[in-house]
Structure 1
Amino acid sequence: MSDSAFTPRVFSGIKPSGGLTLGNYLGAIKRWVDMQGPDFETIYCVVDLHAITVWQDPADLKRSTHEVAAALLASGIDPEKSVLFNQSQVPGHAELGWLFNCVARVGWMNRMTQFKDKAGKNTEKVSLGLYAYPSLMAADILLYHATHVPVGEDQKQHVELTRDIAAKFNHDYGVEFFPVTTPVIEGPAMRVMNLRDGSKKMSKSGESDMERINMLDDADTIAKKFKKARTDPEGLPSDVAGLKDRPEARNLVDIYAGLADTTAEAVLGDFGGAGWGTFKPALAELAVEKLAPISDEMKRLLDAPDEIDALLAKGAEKAEAIAEPILERTFEIMGFVRSRR
């Protein structure tokens, strides 16, 4: 394997923390589906090792892992087109994660804003894993020599850290072994907001279930939530500038655009001047059309966990076949004795 020959390859992962929402679908999953095709090899992972940076009930972790896998499959991740697996079934993630712990600098980790946000004032009491997990995230990506990572804006810093780790490794060992990964940040509804408060991100942990669209919601529930979503007294403007300082309106327009594979400008071209009594039923109809079949298939898969497990096992075998020579070459570059084969 040439150290500088990088196949165009996408890697991304989603943590099994339960309660997937429309935000997960539009912000990540739908984009992953769209990236399947001739331009990239696509590798998608349920990152269960990341989940345990905070304590997980074992039964909940297993259930959430199945739920994420079911969501990916139901949304259109095709195991024949993509590699789909759960992280803990490929030991190379943890092994390369340790090697990168020894490449990354403490100062880099101290700049990670997500650790500060999650740890809050309890930095002395959180797990070491929560502090160090960005280097494991770098390992997730670079274990496959991934060249592109679709991420939300809040994860861009972690891809930048991945680039720093790759650059330092290559410099320290005089090689061009790891690619400098490119974050892919695009799409009309990257940050889906709360249906009751457009200033807050849609979250599984919100106070009211009416704030969010869950990926397991049925058609009637989806329609009801959109029809009851908070708006404002004004109708829809004819251009995007008219959405300024109207967070709820902007959110619903962006969601429509994301579901319809179009832009906010195009949505307003069709609905500009209309009232919410026209737009919200149209949005509800579109959401039911796109999301209800996913919900139905997720429920079918969750009733057949053996089917999910079999697909994850096959995916893990494919993932390991890509990862193993990259990991072995990493050990070789670093000078480890690898006489056992």
Structure 2
Amino acid sequence: MSAFESRVFSGVQPTGNLHLGNYLGAIKRFAGLQETHNCIYCVVDMHAITVWQDPADLQAAIREVASAYIAAGIDPKSSVIFNQSQVSGHAELAWVFNCVARMGWLNRMTQFKEKAGKNRENVSTGLFVYPNLMAADILLYKATHVPVGEDQKQHLELTRDIAAKFNNDYGERISALGLGDADGYFPLTEPVISGPATRVMSLRDGTKKMSKSDPSDLARINLTDDADTIAKKIRKAKTDTEPLPGEEDGLKERPDAANLVGIYAALAETTAADVLKTHAGAQFSTFKPELADLAVSKLAPIADEMRRLKADPGYIEGVLADGADRADAIARPVLQGVKDIVGFLSTRK
């Protein structure tokens, strides 16, 4: 049993076009965790600039993610909502972790390989060390749990490796200073991967993740899409000619069908198995309209609230400013402990 306080940290990149995958895979689950944990939710704008972002668009996207958090049910009074760049500890701790993590660890990160492709020599160094910054995001608050999608699980494993190496490298120093406890200075953060749609796939290709960068807008449902657009995208979603099976085994070789069933289950807050029990033998000509109605009923209120909040940027910026102050109050002593542990000399009181 860890001695660390139960705390959740997670974040979403502000790179525009928030979509159904962001909602089901992350934001929806964030709201539910408020009932059981102390929660810190970040708009990770420093991660966003690992690839080029238009500055004006980035500012708008930061406000959009913050508005999506609130519209989806995250309470900015009980949870902490802020944007990453406003708490300098993220960058400071990331540098320490750059010196703890090993090149071999980073070279094994599959997401970097996917994003860099054949252009590895021309991508930013920020993209390469992105996982170290992610580790800093989490451990700056000594978070014990992180809700992540399957695609981020490897990065969280690296976070655990970094925490363990730091605890081991500086174990005697940690004890001598009376910092941390038997578990070390940093916790070994646990992933929270649950639900039927932890990885929402493209509506045009069930083997690829739903992405804001997909050239086809039909591949994703944006959180701000209206009812007609949602219905159109689901109607045009790629499927096969077979009816829905009665059990999940029947979806193993049918990625497009499995994706739509998973989306239905996540929106209905049930399981894929229960969806198939109810719709066994149904053709997609019947299933898709039901899915569209369900998606509209769940997403329309969020879209309406996001539009209302985005029309009041002063309110959103106030939430972010308050959140940054509260986040910094948690982060500052953690970072000072790191500085003391590694031997930085503090001469400013």
Q: Which band: TM-score by shorter chain?
A: over 0.9
Instruction: Give, in angstroms, the shift of residue 207 of structure 1.
Output: 3.0
Q: For 2:276, what is the secondary structure of its paired residue?
A: helix
1:159-207 alpha-carbon deviations (Å, 9 max, x no partner): 1111111111111111311001111222101111122222222222223
The answer on 1:224 being equivalent to 2:224 is no
More displaced, 175-184 or 87-96? 175-184
The CA distance in 2 between the partners of 1:55 and 1:231, in whole Å, is 35
The residue aligned with 1:328 is 336
**1:280 & 1:124 partners in 2: Cα distance?**
44
1:26 — aligned with what?
24
Deviations 1:100-130 (A, max 9, x none): 1111112222222222222222222222211
TM-score, normalisation: structure 1 = 0.95
Q: Mean Cα displacement is larger for which, 4-13 or 54-63?
A: 4-13
Alignment of 1:144-155 (within 5 A): 144-155=141-152
Structure 1 residues 307, 104: closer, same or farther in 2, change over 3 A?
same
Q: Distance in 1 between matches of 2:213 and 2:159?
A: 29
Q: Give the superposition deviation at 1:81.
A: 2.2
Q: Secondary structure at the match of 1:50?
A: helix
Matching residue of 1:204: 212
Distance 1:54 1:229 in 2: 29
Maintained 8 Å contact 1:66/1:308: yes
- In 2, the alpha carbon distance for the partners of 1:197 and 1:173 equals 48
Question: In the alignment, is the contact (CA less than 8 A) between 1:218 and 1:296 conserved in 2?
Answer: no
Cα separation, 1, equivalents of 2:242 and 2:91: 53
Query: Greater CA deviation, 216-225 or 318-327?
Result: 216-225
Q: Percent of counterpart pairs with the same letter?
A: 67
- In structure 1, runs of 5+ residues without a counterpart are none
- What secondary structure sits across from 1:339 in the alignment? coil
State whether residues 82 and 323 of structure 2, in contact with CA within 8 Å, keep that contact through their aligned partners in structure 1. Answer: yes
Separation in structure 2 between the aligned mates of residue 205 and residue 309 of structure 1, nearest angstrom:
26
Q: CA RMSD in A?
A: 1.4
Shift of 1:275: 2.4
CA drift of 1:210 comes to 1.8
> 2:308 aligned to 270, 278, 300, which one?
300
Residue 316 in 1 paired to residue 324 in 2? yes
Which residue is 2:90 aligned to? 93
Q: 2: CA distance between counterparts of 1:238 and 1:110? A: 42
- Counting matched residue pairs gives 337
Contact 2:151 2:199 in 1 (8 A): no
TM-superposed CA distance for 1:212, in Å, is 1.3
Q: Within 5 A, what are the aligned runs for 1:70-149?
A: 70-149=67-146
1:230-245 residue pairs with structure 2 within 5 A? Answer: 230-245=238-253
TM-score (norm 2): 0.93
C-alpha distance in 2 between matches for 1:237 and 1:282: 17
Which 5+ residue runs of structure 2 have no aligned equivalent?
175-183
Provide the rounded CA distance (Å) in 1 between the counterparts of 2:41 and 2:99: 26
